[in-house]
Amino acid sequence: MLEYTPDRRPTGGLRLPAHKEASTAQPIARGFVPRTLVLALQQHQGPPTTPVVRRGERVLRGQVVARARALRSAAVHASTSGHVRAIEDRLVPSVHAVHRTRCIVIDADGEDEPLPPGAGSAWPEDPEKQLKSIRDGGIVGLGGGVFPTAEKLGPQTPCKVLIINGVECEPYISCDDMLMREAAAEIVDGALIMRELLAAPECIVAVERDKPQAIEALLEAGRASGDASLRLADIPTIYPTGGERQLVEMLTGEEVPSTHYPSEIGYICQNVGTAFAVHRLVRAGEPLLSRVVTVAGDGIARPQNVETPIGTPIGELIEFCGGYRGDVDRLILGGSMMGYALPNDEMPITKGSNCLIAAARTEVRQDFSERFCIRCGNCGTACPARLLPQELLRAARDNDHALLDEFGLTDCIECGCCDVICPSHIPLTEVFRNAKFAHARYQRQEVFSAETQQRFRRHEERERADVQRGKDLQDQIRHEVETDEPARQQAIEAAIERARQRRSQDTDSE
């Protein structure tokens, strides 16, 4: 594996304090078995899965409990053995917020009994069946986006470069770093399996420079694989370089157009955790049952990374890490920049949950009162998406949808850089997040009213055409009658005959 340093600097971004020392001080904790599982039927971007178990049924570790019925979906498995207690609606964290969705609730029996060996399907030869195995194995993007991996590896787009994303730039989150240190060979293997599926000529593993142990482990694994298509790019530690668009630009110099996904211009990004999951599925027949979760913050007794069964209630995971400590201000899912506060710790860890922060009062940004924008331009300099946040702010507060479009609201990745740097303490990201909802609603209404107008116009045109057709017919008959004497006589006689018949009918009825 060749190591190289891209000569480009990321656009915008910030150098932030890492807060990762405590959680990386010990290896990933393994072997944790929860007492309960709450398995959401929809833990991915796409249609929900369909349950295939009943209340009271005993399930084994690795057993499918909900099947993917659509291409853009991913199956759900029992991550430990136990009995199905209920199938009901619960609150579950998703990418940007908590939502209510159908869940399978399992009471674990503590035996953690797996499916018998060979019960899982073997890795097929045919690429199409391989994609189906990945879908049936429940694998989704573990970087947080939870896009079904099989969909992303499909043959729809030619892939120039497969990018394995090990850029974990958010403060507090260290699950990928620890996985790269401890399972570099497995990650490289998973990356090569995906490269083959995509027939990509090149594969770049991207890692930040502040992760020397991960870099060393990956280089060694890359060399051992002997694969010449692999390269390792060490990149500067600037938040948010780990965003797909930012990373593609940083590595290749190509800007991803705002209306496109990176895959549409030939770059497929997969997280290191996803590569590891693909390796486990192909080499050990194991579906996605667990993920590494960083449990961090001053409000946790023992901050660490834990290999956590999917569906574990957050409260049980915190208990495994020694419970809460001191005065916890809030519980945040995700990093301190892009994560969000949870209402309680009863919700489960899902496939997309990478970090849990029990933040003490001292770790939380104080609520300063907002002041006027002084147009200092700091936010524009920090914006990795090359936006003008101060202009977006004005457009959002004026509800000016045309201007929001013009200033590229939808390109905002809600990274929070503008917030952090703003001397007037304006909650810019929150304003943009709300504006996106309002803008999407406005666009839907616009589309609806355009369609309604179009339907009305079509209806009017049809009516006009019908009237015209009637007129044309009358004209045609009149013309034929006037120009054709025998036809005219015939028409007169027919009319006289009709009148005579009517009269005789009237006389009969009298």
Question: Which residues of the shown chain bind ligand SF4 in the complex (CB under 6 A)?
Answer: 373-379, 382-385, 387, 389-390, 393, 412-418, 421-424, 426, 428-429, 432
Task: State in angstroms the smallest separation of the CB of 386 from ligand SF4.
Answer: 8
Q: Work out how close the CB of 142 gets to ligand SF4 at its nearest, in angstroms, rounded to a whole number.
A: 23
Shortest spacing between CB 246 and ligand SF4, in angstroms: 10
**Among residues 12 and 143, whose Cβ is nearest to ligand SF4?**
12
Backbone angles phi, psi at 27, to 5 degrees: -65, 170
Question: DSSP characters for 260-306?
Answer: S-GGGGTEEEEEHHHHHHHHHHHHH---S-EEEEEEESTTBSS-EEE
Going by C-beta distance under 8 Å and a sequence separation of 6 or more, which residues neighbour residue 507? none
Residue with smaller CB distance to ligand SF4, 170 or 186 = 170
Give the chain's largest Cα–Cα span. 113
Report the candidate in 305, 312, 271, 270 with the shortest Cα–Cα distance to residue 289.
312
Q: What minimum distance in Å lies between the beta carbon of 247 and ligand SF4?
A: 15
Of the pair 81, 390, the CB lying nearest ligand SF4 is at 390
- The whole-angstrom separation of Cα 272 and Cα 430 is 30
293 vs 392, beta carbon nearer ligand SF4: 392
CB of 155 or CB of 257, closer to ligand SF4: 257
Which is closer to ligand SF4, CB of 82 or CB of 389?
Answer: 389
Is 217 or 412 the residue whose CB approaches ligand SF4 more closely? 412
Q: At what angle do helices 175-182 and 272-284 cross, to 10 degrees?
A: 40
Please report how close the Cβ of residue 119 comes to ligand SF4 at its closest, in angstroms.
46
Q: How far is the CB of 161 from ligand SF4 (least distance, A)?
A: 24
Q: Give the residues across from 90 on adjacent strands.
A: 101
Report the DSSP pairing between strands 161-166 and 267-271: parallel
Instruction: Please identify which residue in the block is written with the tokens 């997280």.
Output: 271
Q: How far is the CB of 13 from ligand SF4 (least distance, A)?
A: 9
Q: Count each helix (H run) and each strand (E run) in the chain, helices first.
A: 14, 17
Say how far apart CA 246 and CA 240 lie, in whole Å: 7
Instruction: Assign residue 311 a region (left: φ > 0; alpha: ψ between -120 and 50; beta: otherwise).
Output: left
